[in-house]
Chain A
Amino acid sequence: MKTKLLSVALIAAAFSGGIFLGKGGSNDNFVINNGGGASYAGGYDKNAEQQNSGNSPVSARTVEGKTHVVKDGSSIMEAVKLAEPGDTIQVMPGTYHETVYIDKDDIHLIGVIVEGKRAVLDGQGKLNDAILYSGNNVIVKNLKITRYKGNGIMGQAGNNFEISNNIIVDTGVYGIFPQLGKNGLVEYNIVSGISDAAIYIGMSDNIQVAHNEVFDSVAGIEIENSRHAIVENNMVYNNTGGVLAFITPGLPIKTTFDVIIRNNFITNNNTPNFGAPGSTVAGIPAGTGILVMAADEVIIEDNIITGNKTAGIVITDHENAPNVTIDPESDTKPDKVMILNNLMDNNGYDTLDEVKALMLSEFKQGKPDIIRVGGSRDSCIINRHQYVTVGVDNWKECEFTNTDSIDTYILDEPVPARVIDPSEKGKIAYLGICAGCHTYTGRMIGPPVQIIQALYMDNPEGLAEFIANPTKKRDDYPEMPPQNYLDAETRLAVAKYMLHVKK
């Protein structure tokens, strides 16, 4: 409110005087380029955990298990049921209408590509999920996935995963969605037509998202409530918002920090928002290149960011973001954001009125490349003179100019497989599955848990029954995908857990 009033007064002053005040006292001696300086050391000390890497985060096999070959007309799920940890499942070209659930460790599910023909999983607009895995050391590779309503590939608390070389088209809410995983790689995938995030890293650590092509979705690549992630060499275009680093309030894991977004093409993300109304991503203004919401230690370096009509980079706290409720346990401010060199051009050419008003309050005009609203401590930027900016004038110069010394956050040795104690079944299922769509207090994909608690109170049996076979209840929400791949005991455990969480 204050800024708005202020800006009105300023506009009036500028016009009544018939003059436009340039920003007084600014330094005309630009440093032409600030490249080639010190290198950022990164926020993750690998040595503290273990030493450096090969390529895949997945455990190398000492002995190869069996190879199961699935041919057109037979079922992938049947092969998974027969497989033992250490086995490989090869899926031949053909069309498969099924949901595949991998609840075993060390399974490699690999499509065989013959003369450009792939194994196609086709949900026909009826099935919810294509691939779900909860095992550790799982590889999902070379598949084509289309027309599912929920998830293309979803990881549920599996560590050391690799999702690569898949093509995912018009598939529901999330394209590739590893949730609650540590040490994972998402690379060389093509993902499009997703109504929430095409690639969504949720509540995970040590992640590499590289060389993907992501387009025609609401959110391109989203790093949410996750740490030590690198997003690099991706092509991200024609989404509503390109690359997002978020803290979503109301989730059980409360932080996002140490995210490097570098060497990506982030262009023309101007697609009108088609997210479910009221959901978090539905609040993203079309034309947003990179959006940092409340996440800390986000480094943005050497990206090509062009043609995003609202702005190239938007940095906001929770207070200023639409469709977001405040979580007292999450820090709402994006601190230590570091903007290094980026090629920015033709952004902000059709920006929001609020942004224009903010610009006027800083005596600025033009098409904004970088917008910061709300609080942000200890953030820095280099070569700021190259961009049209709002809200970063008082940021300091960064003390380094590149991230060259950080190769990857993938660990050299796979982390131990997550072992689930039976008493923790409900909790892990909640974190690994439900929290992908339900937050405690806010509307994500599904209704807030707080409301579910009011509806079901002391009736976990009723809740368990619902998730096994959900019925459509709300016009303005998508359908809830059935969780009948979980056994009855897990369903009841997760129902009980859901009715008792407090945040």
Chain B
Amino acid sequence: MKQIFWGKLILSSLIMMLHFPSFADQGKTTYQTCSACHGEQGQGNSALNAPSLAGQFDWYLQTQIEHFASDLRANDPRDTHGKMMVPFAKQLSDPEQTKQLLSYINSFEAVSVKGTIKGDLKNGSRYYQAKCGACHGGEAQGNPTFKAPKLAGQDPQYLLRQIANYQQGIRGTHQDDKYGRQMAMMANAVSDKELQDIVFFISEQQ
């Protein structure tokens, strides 16, 4: 509750900033809005539930921004964290601006989240390979062929929350969200115990 409240506070002031991008380094300037939540270097901020953007594929970031803006994502009233993103995504209506922004985000170094959670690596590895690796890649590096994002380096709590969202029909339900629906089907094929170990395995990848 506290976090949401805080989020709302900065939210209103930040939206203003979006309207004044300087032409000199548009990407960097636009990103200043984002950095309040996603961090200077896109490393994410778990206190704000904002995921890491560093090291993520630009096509994936772009679709997510589009999905937030078009209600394909965060369309469920229960999705309080997702809703925080919606106004910022809607502000990014100029394709050129978004392009510059994404290329700026692209310059960030991926972060490591090794050691931030516990689990059983052997179990995690076997269930990851059986249930996730064929789309997200053997080392959770992502795979453009399947529009499956990189998971390595992402905040484990964020990953767990997204999977819970898929399981509960908060994300990945819209008929036009084909990839989200694919993921939702897989989220419903894992148990909580498997998931803990899987996310541990992911957190150990670079």
Contacts and interface: CB of A to CB of B under 8 A. Distances in A.
A478 interface: no
B135 interface: yes
Given A277-B138, A473-B146, A443 B181 contact: no
Interface in B93-129: 122, 125-127, 129
A278 B129 contact: yes
A95 B146 CA distance: 40
A487 interface: no
Contacts of A322: 122, 125-126
Contacts of B181: 457
B133 interface: yes
B135 A448 contact: no
B176 to A, nearest CB: 14
A346 interface: no
A372 B115 CA distance: 33
A441 B127 CA distance: 9
**Chain B interface SS verdict (over half):** helix
A374 interface: no
Nearest to A473: B145
B134 A325 contact: no
A163 B181 CA distance: 46
Nearest to A324: B126
Contacts of A475: 137-138
Nearest to B189: A450
Interface in B137-164: 137-138, 143, 145-146
Contacts of A325: 126-127, 130
B131 interface: yes
A474 interface: yes
Given A322-B126, A325-B126, A454-B186, A278 B145 contact: no
Given A322-B122, A323-B126, A473-B145, A448 B131 contact: yes
Contacts of B135: 451, 454-455
A353 interface: no
Interface string A443-456: 10001101101110
Given A450-B189, A457-B185, A475-B138, A442 B122 contact: no
A477 interface: yes
Interface string A308-344: 0000000000000011110000000000000000000
A447 B132 CA distance: 10
Nearest to B122: A322
B70 interface: no
A476 B132 CA distance: 13
B182 interface: yes
Interface in A19-72: none
Contact of B130 (A448, A453, A477): A448
B131 A450 contact: yes
Given A451-B186, A457-B185, A278 B122 contact: no
A451 B131 contact: yes
Interface string A185-225: 00000000000000000000000000000000000000000
B134 A474 contact: yes
B127 A278 contact: no
B108 to A, nearest CB: 24
A396 B203 CA distance: 46
Interface residues of B, number: 21
Interface in B49-76: none
A453 B185 contact: yes
**Chain A interface SS verdict (over half):** loop
Contacts of B133: 278, 443, 476
A476 B138 contact: yes
A323 B133 CA distance: 12
Interface string A353-393: 00000000000000000000000000000000000000000
Contacts of A477: 134
Contacts of A473: 143, 145-146
A455 to B, nearest CB: 6
Interface in A231-279: 277-278
Interface in B23-67: none
Interface in B176-194: 181-183, 185-186, 189
Contacts of B126: 322-325
A455 B131 CA distance: 12
Contacts of B186: 450-451, 454
Given A455-B135, A476-B138, A443 B182 contact: no
Interface in A462-503: 473-477
B140 to A, nearest CB: 11
Given A323-B129, A325-B127, A441-B130, A476 B182 contact: no
Nearest to A323: B126
Contacts of B185: 453-454, 457
Nearest to A279: B129
Given A450-B189, A455-B182, A476 B130 contact: no
Contacts of B189: 450
A442 B182 contact: no
A455 B145 CA distance: 11
A277 B126 CA distance: 11
A443 B130 contact: yes
Nearest to B194: A325
**Most chain B CB neighbours (cut-off 10 Å) among A278, A442, A457:** A278
A447 B186 CA distance: 13
B182 A457 contact: yes
**Most chain B CB neighbours (cut-off 10 Å) among A441, A447, A455, A477:** A455
Given A447-B134, A457-B181, A474-B134, 14 more contacts: A323-B129, A441-B131, A448-B131, A448-B134, A451-B131, A451-B186, A453-B185, A454-B135, A454-B182, A455-B182, A474-B137, A474-B138, A476-B137, A477-B134
Interface of A: 277-278, 322-325, 441-443, 447-448, 450-451, 453-455, 457, 473-477
Closest 10 CB pairs of A and B: A447-B134, A476-B138, A278-B129, A454-B185, A325-B130, A451-B134, A454-B182, A473-B145, A443-B129, A442-B130
9 contacts: A277-B138, A323-B125, A443-B130, A443-B133, A451-B134, A454-B182, A457-B181, A474-B145, A475-B138
